Amino acid sequence: MTHYMDIRLRPDPEFPEMFLLRALYSKLHRALFDLSAQDIGVSFPQHRTGVKARTLGAHLRLHGGKERLEALMQTGWLSGMRDHVTLTDIEPVPEDAQHITVKRRQFNTGSESRAKRYAKRHSVSVEEARQMYQKVASRKIELPYVQLASRSTQEQFCLFIEHGKPQEKPAGGQFNHYGLSQGATVPWF
């Protein structure tokens, strides 16, 4: 993770920020999937947590090697979004940057599909399963998320994103096609 570039959403009176971020992140996911990229990470410098305050913000930062980021940008993955974003050049990471993990967190949100699956697997009625999941569904999740469709399965889901605590030393590893990793770090500054 020697270089980075920033992508900022421009305010738009016709489209809410969350809608534009969903479109941007969906396009990035497709590009990372098509490139089979496991060496490009993301972070959201403006993210906030809290039930009422959670947001990923309007600022997406891409992390990787200079050549790899250049290759990503040459794919044209931002077509259709250029009017909605401002880009920085690909720059070296500041020497004094700390490092964090940016990873996916999954939660059992008590969805209807989960209740139906539970009922089928455990031979109980759907109504019983709904009641069992009702307590789970009332839990408040504080992490920001973006709603996406998986490139491989086409299923819609909420991608909850957790930024870890800053640490002095980077940790190597691979990133998934959302630019996230359970153990690898990205620079944080």
> Helices in 62-173 by DSSP H: which ranges?
66-73, 112-122, 126-137
Residue 120 lies in a domain: no
What domain range is 23 assigned to? 3-107+158-188
Residue 29 annotated as catalytic: yes
- Residue of 29, 99, 163, 177 with catalytic role: 29
Return the pLDDT at 172.
96
Residue 127 lies in a domain: no
Identify the residue whose tokens are 């399963």.
129
Q: How far is CA 186 from the centre of its chain?
A: 13
Return the pLDDT at 136.
67
Element (H, E) at 102: strand 98-105
Closest to 108 (Cα-Cα) out of 149, 145, 148, 138: 138
Return the pLDDT at 156.
87
Instruction: Let me know: does 37 contact 45? Beta carbons within 8 Å.
Output: no
Return the pLDDT at 105.
95
The CATH number linked to 42 is 3.30.70.2540
- pTM score: 0.86
Residue 149 lies in a domain: no
Return the pLDDT at 131.
83
Residue 163 lies in a domain: yes
Return the pLDDT at 95.
94
Total number of domains in the chain: 1
User: Burial, 99: exposed, middle or buried (Cβ in 10 Å; 0-12, 13-18, 19+)?
Assistant: buried
Element (H, E) at 34: helix 17-34
Return the pLDDT at 115.
83
Residue ranges for the chain with pLDDT beneath 50: none
Residue 67 lies in a domain: yes
